[in-house]
Amino acid sequence: MSKKIPERSEIAIQDQWALEDLYATDELWQENLKKLQAEIDELAGFAGRISQSAQELLAYRKLVDMFTIRAERLGNYAMRRGDQDKRDSYYQGMVGQFMKAYVEAEAKTSFEAPELLSISDEKMEEFYREEPELELYRRYFDKSRGRRAHILSATEEKLLAAAGEMSQSPQNIFSMFSNADLKFKPAVDKDGAEHPISQGTYIACLESPDRVLRKSAFENYYAAYENFRNTCAATLDANVKQLQFFADARKYASPLEASLDCTEVPTSVYHQLIESVHQNLDKMHRYVRLRKKLLGVDELHYYDIYAPMVPDQDETIPFEKAKEMALEALAPLGEDYLAMLKEGFENRWIDVYENQGKRSGAYSSGQYSCHPFVLLNYTDTLNDVFTLVHEMGHALHSYLSAKNQSITYFDYVIFVAEVASTCNESLLMQHLLGKTTGKKERAYLINYFLEQFR
pTM to 2 decimal places: 0.86
Query: Which residues carry out catalysis?
Result: 391
**103 C-beta neighbours (distance < 10 Å), count:** 18
Give the pLDDT score at 1.
Answer: 41
Exposure of 180 in the CB half-sphere (CA atoms within 13 A): 15
Give the pLDDT score at 312.
Answer: 66
Question: Which segments in the chain show pLDDT lower than 70?
Answer: 1-2, 312-313
